[in-house]
Structure 1
Amino acid sequence: MLSLEPTDDLARPAFRDVESCSQWLGQLQLTNLNLAQNTLSNQIGELNRLALSGKVRLQILETLRETVALVQHDCAKKLGGKALPLADEELALLFALANLWQAMLHGYLRCVQMAAAGDASIAKKQALLQQRCLFYARCRLEAFGTAGYAPDARSWQQLHALYAAIESSPLRQENVRDPYFHDAFPASCQTLYVATLLLHRARLLGLTRSELQSAESWLLHWPETLSLVAQCSASRNDAPPLAVDLRGAQGLRSLAHAQRSDSLRFLPLVPLSKQIRVKAILLKQGQTPRQLDLGDALAAKDCIALLETLHACWCEASTDTLADVPRPTQPVHLCAGLEKSYGQIAQKPFKPVKDVTKAVRDAQLQIATFGRVLDETGRHKLQELGFVPEEWQVESNGLIEARLLRLHASDERLAPRQIVIVFAPESDGYKAGMVRQIEVTQGGLLYLVVHYLPGQPQAVIAQAAATGGEQWQSSSAPALLLPALENLRIPASLVLPRGWFAPGRVMELITPARSKRKIALGISVESGSDYERVSFSLL
């Protein structure tokens, strides 16, 4: 059982019963979310210190739930899609989110302890109390995930401890309805705990919020497939079990990375594997998601794709990600952003060309005087200008996607959908890609999932002239040219900074060797946080 501080006669919450709590909530200003969150956290902290009967405490906590959920949901939105690692102010907001969930957890845990001590007023509410504790422990885990951080050790340890406390009790199998969790669908503590573990393992699959909610809903509907046992065996062709340490500080692990201990539990996955495969087969045969109790959020083809993705993640033999289990692998180098990517490929920093005509005159003069064009940027090494590629470890590096772990802690931040290039040390085999997913690991390292763009990138300068009928001024910017892949019927495209694209815009592409070609932009193929990939035609 998790320990709590003793109650304190000096505690002074703004409410001591349901009536005063409801009145206080009615006066709480929600226009300033940070202030409302801080006020709730402080008042619930005071409530947790106050000596109350179990029944009154439970009633107050249940009354607080709706407002807490609303404030936390809106505060969490501020952290979505941020560059990582978070800035100090953003990190403070993450800790504030975690602390308010923790305060709610402590409140229900106080009720659990009072029920265990013989408080008859809540003796019949023990399954509900345990469910609420696990729910708020799960909310704390989810807060870190929403911000792109792996949950800290404390969050895992208390989640495991809450389940361990009821592992041998019938309470773990008793269904409880929660109006703030999947429309009050009845679920047991064991199902909630195992579903939380499985959803965390799937966090790096790039699933949408709708897909994650569907996956969790499916698990809640399949409680007979979710169980934890102290001993487990598997045949060669069976889905291999996963393991979790109830005294550990992480989630599920493959057997290859699980350390033997008396607190190790196994999740047999043969039942879940069979359930997923049967659902996918029936969908392919023409049954609808609703007929199979898969909900209405996803179309049949999307359900099939999600089921197959989840089966590969949960039920097929695979190694744990480097985000969960760091280990030595092959290194690659990575540069982030268009300017650094240009500098690395061109082997010289980007130099804006404000007036192409003047640049040509200067080049002609230099040839007449020195017999060659002088490269002013060549006077500086890339390293002196900060163009130093970072070294990352490779978990996988295929034609379409790479999964990488940064080898060292760094203050350089990376954002979702940011442009990067990846290449092997001492190699010019560059690949351009977009950061599809990013996470800060427990050790403070960055883990990336990179989606590659088609074609080997070439460094070019995009030079656009001012035109009277357009809003564009004469300017230049670093860009990447992605040549056509004729065998795949993929036309050439151009990676430009955000804000540079307009259909039909005319510009020149200048290579590091100063050769030029004139183009007209076509359509936007895709856009990221700092780039836009566009089609073009030669003029």
Structure 2
Amino acid sequence: MLTLPLEPTDDRANPLFKDESGCAKWLSQLQLTNLQLAHSLLLTQINELNRYPMRGLERLNTLERLRETVGYVQDDYAKKLIAKPLPLNESELMVFVAIVQLWQAMVLGYQRCLQAYMAGDKQLAKHGALLCQRCLLYSGLEIFEHLRTGYEFDAKLWHQLHALYAFAEQQDLQGTEVLDPLNGKHRSSCRSIYVKTLLACYAHPAELTRSQLHLLDNWLAQWSSMVTVERTYTVSKGDAQPLAVDLNNKYGLQSLKQVAQSDSIRYLAMVPLSKLLRVKTILLQQGQTPQQLELCDHCSGVDCVEFLTALHRYWCEDHSTRFGERYPVAQNAQLCYRMEGIYAHLTGKPFRQPGRDTGTDSVARRQIETFGRVLQDAHNKELLEMGFPLETWQFENESILGARLTREDTFGGRLSYNQLIALRPSDAETFMLGATAWANVTRGGKLQIGVRYLPGVAEAVSIRAAGINVSASEKYVPAFLLQAVPALKTPASLIIPRDWFQPGRVVEVLHQNRDTESMKMGFSVERGIDYERVSFSVV
């Protein structure tokens, strides 16, 4: 039987409203122009309401009255956190904690109602499906908030979500539709909201833009009802494999390879959703508009195709295996970031416009001529003092394509998804370039990242636009030349600052030994938050 971890109510609790009509009056006077104040007042009063002893049906009606305002304020407040680098600063962290606490308050309120239902409250007897659906909804939103912000959460939140769904199954309430005016279809069930939560959390929410998060919510409101939750599964050749969830475990969705058959395993049949995603992608590519396909009123077809393709990859394709086995690594690495910082640590000197040699330049040039590289350690202290940090990170595991690392300290720079970094393992003499594949903060406050290595040995260079229409005074910018990797059949490429790429643009490349050559940009291979990797040909 479901166990709800609820504290007793308190006769001393004194919320500003004690029933639905009082709540409606209070909400009518709530000023939403000051978002922080409105959020704080909602959190304070709902927490007080949750402590206040009242009849189950009156509590339910009061919570239902609060839902629209809570949803509006939470959505607006959460915009402050979308795509923020990690770890959050102090003011951002306060916003995040407040948002999570308000979701928790809503969960607690509906759990009190569910507790009364389980105790036999006759007024709530016909509301079992609605109470389970609301508890699942707000429990899921609390989990999703952590995932899209990039902060690790207590595994008991997954246990709570799964236990609620298991209870809905036991009561045969999982498929019963209830009114949900805040849902896109205005009706929902325990099963559809559970599926929506699981799939949203499996779609890499921390990597999504604000518009993609909005699309994800709208699309799953429409599509989650077509995904069934089964105790067994069958797979035909070529079909999308089901995803699995263990109702007794502390995880969300997993691939079939990650679970063992048991009575607590449920399978999400992904074939209908896979077909829908592919059909809509094909129709968009054939010229139909997102509006015609009921996908979006303001998005471009290209953006929708890109996002539909990504969702199909996350949900319907096997991405549990990697090219190159991961293995534990017990060593440290030095890490730097930002174009100027990486340039400084690769060359041993800060980037500046080329001119007359200074003493530092001459030393660096002689080291390159003698050793083929700059002797980094001689310059690290000097560069740190100039504002180019070099942080110590611990490898967790590594493959030939990437690694997982944890920063030793709980303080340091902030990193974003798909940001350029340079990494030098303790047993290596040179830095290699990579991009952050993901980032999150542990419950202990340490930053963790996944790094995707960029192929090729990196050389720091300076580039500037060239050609007949370019002024001779055009300034240089730092860039990196990645050498070809024949074993991977990867040609040489240039890493340049974001938004600097133009197809066919001719650039002058200045090497550390002062040699120059002209290159013509081809196409964009990949684009990150602060860099772009492009193909080129020597002119």
Alignment CA distance shift 1:518-1:288 (3 Å) = closer
Residue matched to 1:319? 320
Contact 1:276 1:307 in 2 (8 A): no
Counterpart of 2:81 in 1: which secondary structure? coil
Query: 1:80 Cα deviation (Å)?
Result: 1.3
**Matched residues, number:** 509
Instruction: State whether residues 439 and 447 of structure 2, in contact with CA within 8 Å, keep that contact through their aligned partners in structure 1.
Output: no
Give CA-to-partner distance per residue, 1:117-162, whole Å, 9 cap, x none: 3333332222112111111111111211221234432321221121
The whole-number CA distance in structure 2 between the counterparts of 1:526 and 1:254 is 28
Q: TM-score scaled by structure 1?
A: 0.74
Residues 1:167 and 2:169 aligned together: yes
Letter in 1 for 2:191: Q
Cα pair distance change 1:177/1:423, threshold 3 Å: farther
Letter in 2 for 1:252: L
Gap change, CA 1:493 and 1:114, over 3 Å in 2: same
2:271 to 273, 297, 301: 273
Instruction: From 100, 121, 127, give the equivalent of 2:123.
Output: 121
TM alignment of 1:22-41, pairs within 5 A: 22-41=24-43
Query: Does residue 1:512 correspond to 2:516, yes or no?
Result: no
Identity value in percent? 35
Taking only aligned residues, the RMSD between alpha carbons, in angstroms, comes to 5.2
Q: CA deviation at 1:7?
A: 1.5
Q: Give the SS at the match of 1:380.
A: helix
Taking the TM superposition and a 5 Å limit, the aligned residue runs for 1:2-151 are 2-151=4-153
Match of 1:467 in 2: none
The alignment partner of 2:174 has SS state of: helix
Q: Shift of the alpha carbon at 1:391?
A: 5.1
Residues 467-522 of structure 1 deviation map (CA, whole Å, 9 limit, x = unaligned): xxx9x9x998643246799xx99997562489x9999x999865333445799999
Aligned equivalent of 1:209, options 193, 210, 213:
213
> Which one-letter code corresponds to 1:209 in the other structure?
L
SS at match of 2:356: helix
Amino acid at match of 1:20: G
Q: Is the 8 A contact 1:353 1:463 kept in 2?
A: no
Match of residue 358 from structure 2: 359
Residues 40-76 of structure 1 show CA distances to partners (whole Å, capped at 9, x for unaligned) of 1111011111122222212211111121111111111
Q: Is the 8 A contact 2:247 2:266 kept in 1?
A: no
Q: Does the 8 A contact of 2:147 with 2:205 survive in 1?
A: no
1:332 Cα deviation from its structure 2 partner: 10
Of residues 382, 387, 391, the one that matches 2:390 is: 387
Measured at CA, do residues 300 and 451 of structure 1 come closer, stay the same or move farther in structure 2, by a change above 3 Å? farther
Which residue identity lines up with residue 169 of structure 1 in the other structure? Answer: Q
Distance 1:395 1:181, change over 3 A: farther
**Does the 8 Å CA contact 2:290/2:301 hold for their aligned counterparts?**
no
Q: Structure 2 unaligned segments of length 5 or more: list them.
A: 466-470
Deviation at 1:19, TM superposition (A): 2.6
- Is the alpha carbon distance of 1:379 and 1:19 closer, same or farther for their aligned partners in structure 2, counting shifts above 3 Å? closer
Structure 1 residue 293, shift from structure 2 partner: 7.6
Tell me the distance in 2 between the aligned counterparts of 1:357 and 1:165. Answer: 75
Q: Which runs of 5+ in 1 are unaligned?
A: 465-469
Listed as ranges, the matches of 1:170-185 within 5 Å are 170-184=172-186
Aligned partner of 1:198 in structure 2 is 199
Residues 80-139 of structure 1, C-alpha deviations (whole Å, 9 max, x = no match): 121112234323322211110111111111111222333333322221121111111111
62-71 vs 88-97, which moves further: 88-97
User: Greater CA deviation, 136-145 or 187-196?
Assistant: 187-196
Name 1:350's counterpart in structure 2. 349
Between 30-39 and 426-435, the greater mean CA deviation after superposition: 426-435
Q: What SS does structure 2 have at the residue aligned with 1:202?
A: coil
Q: Is residue 439 of structure 2 the alignment partner of residue 438 of structure 1?
A: yes
Q: Is the 8 A contact 1:407 1:445 kept in 2?
A: yes
Question: What are the superposed Cα offsets for residues 404-446 of structure 1, whole Å, 9 maximum, x if unpaired?
Answer: 4214554343123422246787668976454464334668552
Counterpart among 220, 227, 236 of residue 224 in structure 2: 220
* Equivalent position amino acid for 1:420 in 2: I
Question: Could you tell me how far 1:280 is from its partner in structure 2?
Answer: 2.8
Task: Classify the secondary structure of the residue corresponding to 1:357.
Answer: coil
Q: Find the aligned partners of 1:509 and 1:108 in 2 and give their Cα distance.
A: 63
> Which residue identity does 2:251 align to in structure 1?
Q
